[in-house]
Chains A and B, each alone.
Chain A
Amino acid sequence: AQKITQTQPGMFVQEKEAVTLDCTYDTSDQSYGLFWYKQPSSGEMIFLIYQGSYDEQNATEGRYSLNFQKARKSANLVISASQLGDSAMYFCAMREGPDNYGQNFVFGPGTRLSVLP
């Protein structure tokens, strides 16, 4: 079974509008972490935002916010005021277990976001 599901292979959004990228996850661990990364065409993975499973508040980082709904096991990324430079692949990832060494990430299939001028 897929541990991370991103149901939107591609998304379009008009510049300056907000967009939500979906992510659902599957884990039986009580302690885990959820991440969003941006991968532009250059290939580097750019960290955007992190949500710990015990964090009660939704994470926010500038124009990025994570809509964390624990009961639904969803961790959607919201980008406000989209910019042309936001066009990229976006990956949702999960680290299962508490903060320990050797905890690898599981990545979702990604969503390609295109921002239209």
Chain B
Amino acid sequence: GAVVSQHPSRVICKSGTSVKIECRSLDFQATTMFWYRQFPKQSLMLMATSNEGSKATYEQGVEKDKFLINHASLTLSTLTVTSAHPEDSSFYICSAVRDGHTDTQYFGPGTRLTVL
């Protein structure tokens, strides 16, 4: 149990286009999900906290208009990178907090974004 999926696993796009990444909790409900970003050989950095039915909370320095987060249901959060640029190329990982089991997070497998 407690499986989180991400789609797509890998995406290559041209500069200026928008890319949507989905994060799904497959076998549990998740009121809260998190989006992280990881540059090569670096640690995970929290971008935003996504709460079902409300606006996401962004970390300092993260542009909310560039990284749009929608948590429309208890099993799905989406991250849209708008007008992507090469510096947005990174590994994006989501995690989900299982409702009723708030002591840990379950991570998705990550999405590698490459912007040409």
Contacting residues, chain B, for A104 (C-beta < 8 A) = 34, 46, 49
Cβ contacts B81-105/A at 8 Å (1 or 0 each): 0000000000101010100001111
- Name, among B34, B43, B105, B112, the residue most crowded by chain A CB atoms within 10 Å (CB to CB): B43
Q: Is B110 within 8 A of A91, CB to CB?
A: no
- Is A117 an interface residue when CB atoms closer than 8 A count as contact? no
Contacting residues, chain B, for A110 (C-beta < 8 A) = 42-43
- Is A85 an interface residue when CB atoms closer than 8 A count as contact? no
Contacting residues, chain B, for A43 (C-beta < 8 A) = 91, 93, 109-110, 112
Contact residues on A (Cβ < 8 Å of other chain), bracket: 20 to 34
Q: Is A45 within 8 A of B97, CB to CB?
A: no
- Is B107 an interface residue when CB atoms closer than 8 A count as contact? yes
Q: Distance in Å from the Cβ of B71 to the closest Cβ of chain A?
A: 12
Known: A101-B32, A105-B46. A47 touches B104 (CB 8 A): yes
Cβ contacts A36-61/B at 8 Å (1 or 0 each): 01000011110100101000000000
Nearest opposing residue in chain A for B112, CB measure: A43
Q: Is A91 within 8 A of B44, CB to CB?
A: yes
Q: Is B43 within 8 A of A101, CB to CB?
A: no
- Enumerate B27-64 residues with CB–CB distance to A below 8 Å: 31-32, 34, 42-46, 49, 51, 57
Q: Name 24 A/B residue pairs within 8 A (Cβ), A-sorted.
A: A35-B104, A42-B109, A43-B93, A43-B110, A44-B107, A44-B109, A44-B110, A45-B95, A45-B107, A50-B104, A52-B103, A91-B43, A91-B44, A99-B103, A100-B102, A101-B32, A101-B51, A101-B97, A102-B51, A103-B102, A105-B34, A105-B105, A107-B45, A110-B42
Please list the residues of chain B having a beta carbon within 8 angstroms of any beta carbon in chain A.
Answer: 31-32, 34, 42-46, 49, 51, 57, 91, 93, 95, 97, 102-110, 112
Please list the residues of chain A having a beta carbon within 8 angstroms of any beta carbon in chain B.
Answer: 33, 35, 37, 42-45, 47, 50, 52, 91, 95, 99-110
